[in-house]
Structure 1
């Protein structure tokens, strides 16, 4: 086979596509390729995910149920837990998690595991594309050596590139198909083939000079958000201290400037996978070059401290109402890390709930229309039905995620005390004396 033959297989859609990791990134990507007529094999160590996929059962909110079922029934999409089938594939995407350790150091063990699984079955004319967010030089210094240990040469026998995921769970306007992606190959041939492959399902491809450049692009995107969110979180704390400035009003007014300003908003903390983790991936890598990214780390710590700040806000507010921390009844509204999704990874709401329990709180409940149950400190909590009685029984109602399904007027009308960390009650006029908004003073 030649380089041209792989290119032709991509163009005529006979190339077989593999997706390693069938989560929030991998499954939507698999569906896009299958919907364009490619055969797609999903590989995941989670047998439950694989079984659901093979039954045509969807488990990711951003994927349409009927679309997934149709593609499975047509034989275009299937799943397996076995790496032994990697040899059948022409294009292999690695879409595995990249968490950090308790010491906030990168944990790329899932990337290593996936790469080793590929290496065992690597053959000529295969294209491997890493999509997992990671520190610069992972593709070239971790993935590439393992693949070349097979005796095959990158750019000649097989092809390798980095193309970071750009998924925003719950977004309907920007999806896998219409969000531009960045591509950086180890060689020019690698970049060309990766661009061609991605063009089959994604509207716009931006090529860069190397995988390490693409890796840095991804980190910049997320650290940009981390730093700016940290700025407004700190400003919110100052406004609380001053007591007579509304941080939300400040941001809204500043956003009227048509140039040089982009609005970011405070909250109870940062959740999800990327924004919380990525600053530490870069700062860890920076130390390898005797460089200390103090500014980036400070922003990350500021955001991590927000659940503790909200906890203090809850305690002070309860004290003003004559309630005790341990015996008070708490109701958290929204425990997903962002509105209108079911994703609870690194949720600040869960962190605040855990902190309350650690301090002796005996009655902590939640409601979330997207999250029917959750594990909290080894206990399984189920979402409570949101009604007048539940609200009236709570000593403190905490709005941690402002799902669009919530009727905030109803909530304020029947609650004794509302801690609003999302500015969800800004338009409520009746019962404002019961509301404590983050960044507006006590």
Structure 2
């Protein structure tokens, strides 16, 4: 058997060179759209600035992003990163060791997609005036505004969710919150080109009948197994490896709030991306921005139709979240490894201090599609491969506390029951159940 490397996974890697595949569609269609949107937002900022140096640097960055688009379309070789960030040497070591001579279509889809965002960041990093600029911030805020209905609904529910409860009542609340946390991942800006507005609203819905209907689309359902673990927690540490900002991190915070209020956790750690990443991923700065948005009574588009009770419910909850941050119960942090191009099979070797720190956590919740892809090396596993096997020996044996909450937005999958794939494909296409975001998995590798 060939040696496993980032460019040679345990099974066939997904690559943009596979014409007609989802990886190919991403490379030829989705990535240019993402870069075009970043260009459009930056152009507006450049036009509005009165600083001559900022305007000139902004124009240079706009030209560089256009060049990046052309470079991808021409399938040119991946070059080294050219800036002075903390992760530059790591990226260039990986490029030289594993992807020497690889092109935009020839390298693995996982590495190349991460590399695209890192190359985009390089342009801002090398500037003076735009170092802290997030080219996706406008899109993040606009999408969160569109989630206003569910935002206020959940804020009203929160006092009921955190009152003293029996174990049976806690389980009922847990089951609902886990599903809301799962389907909140629908608002993924890097993949919204595949979903309609109605799809997103349906997946964000929190009514019990809709959740019951959506539960039928959870293809691997370890929700009850995970409850046995959470039920046993008391004053524990829980980590979230976050995915999207906006509505998704809002519901992550609601789950974190419930864990703290119920006494299941005494500390919750939110692990964020260090740079703008996959359009909507959470950076540390996005958490206080979300707090400020929720406390701004004019932020949401329907604010004039909202009652005083609506605002009080939301403000009470968010002020409690801010107090958690102040008291050290809610920790928001970043690490450069989350923005590498490598699968999480390399977490221990590339970031041993992070690996050992996460092992101290009683439960590590990986959110979203990209985290799932990275956990599973983003390759074409036989679909019935156990989750514990697919996440690799070190993650599978040294951790017994990993759960992935993921709506399916890419081909990568493992852990399916025997025969489920064949049964699904009697009525839906592989693209539908693997990549549309309308199906999901909750996969847990541990024991209670």
Common topology (TM > 0.5): no
Higher percent of residues as strand:
1
Higher percent of residues as helix:
2
Query: Per chain length, whose mean CA-contact separation is higher, i.e. which structure has more relative contact order (CA < 8 Å, sep 6+)?
Result: 2
Of the two, which has the highest radius of gyration? 1
Q: TM-score, normalised to structure 2's length?
A: 0.30
Q: TM-score, normalised to structure 1's length?
A: 0.30
